Amino acid sequence: MAGLSERHRRILELAQRQDRVTVDDLSSHFGVSVQTIRKDLNELCDQRLLKRVHGGAELPSGIENLQYEQRRQIAAVEKDAIGHAAAALIPNDASLFINIGTTTEAVSQALLDHSGLLVVTNNINVANRMRVYPQFEVIIAGGVVRASDGGIVGEAAAAFFSQFKVDYAVIGASALDQDGALLDYDYREVKVAQAIIANARHVILVADAGKFARSAPVRIARLDQIGTFVTDRSPSAAFTALCAAAGVKLVEAGSDPAP
């Protein structure tokens, strides 16, 4: 699928942060005509990235996940910053799980200057990126390969991760509730994520703040099952306090990628 334009990507980021965007506000924000914005919104709605409402558009209901290549382009700068911040928490010569997601892939990219890592993953994209570097040993899970994103899911993959006990797990989530619940769309993926959490000594959740504006139907875990949460920014003072109460280290990476 063709990539999103820069303005389309920024419209989606605004929609993630605000739940809804209006034609008038977007026209003012970007300095373009309302006709241009209506055309942008129509194109994004045709791709099912947004849903038209009176005067603007909003995020879809959340029953289905966005297409993988579309997800790569949403909050791309923030994901890059999150990836570098999370990678900085992982020392050389460590063992780790990396699960499915565009933000976990950003972490794998930032880990390429490490050495001596044992990486166990159910993400074909991560395995392909890291396997060519001799300083890493990469082990990939078996199971059903999901056509949409190359993720390996299902009971076989969950059982595979249960064979290990690693130093770190890097996990993502499709949506986050203000009460700290981690959510996803595919119960098969959730089973794997739960096995990953159960078999790591320290769990690092990576997710941009836009995930708080989304909803998904399947619970992965509670916030107190996480050791560190790396995001671009906390959505609220209340959520920052919730992390502190749960004993979760909150790392706010900001929107500027590391050098």
User: Domain 71-252 falls in which CATH fold?
Assistant: Rossmann fold (3.40.50)
Residue 70 in this model has a pLDDT that exceeds 80: no
Q: Which residues contact 148 (CB under 8 A, 6 or more apart)?
A: 65, 67, 68
**Could you tell me where in the chain the CATH 3.40.50.1360 domains are found?**
71-252
CATH of 6-60, picked from 3.30.70.80, 1.10.290.10, 1.10.10.10, 3.40.640.10, is 1.10.10.10
Greatest alpha-carbon pair distance for the chain in Å reads: 57
Residues 130-144, mean pLDDT to the nearest whole number = 94
Select from 59, 57, 52, 73 the least CA-distant residue to 2.
Answer: 73
| Residue in this structure with the two tokens 């990469």, named with its chain if needed | 138
pLDDT at residue 146 in the model: 80
Find the helix or strand (DSSP H, E) in which 225 lies: none
**Could you tell me where in the chain the CATH 1.10.10.10 domains are found?**
6-60
pLDDT at residue 254 in the model: 76
Measured distance CA(150)–CA(157) in Å, rounded: 13
Residues 68-87, mean pLDDT to the nearest whole number = 81
Residues 109-123, mean pLDDT to the nearest whole number = 97
Measured distance CA(145)–CA(259) in Å, rounded: 34
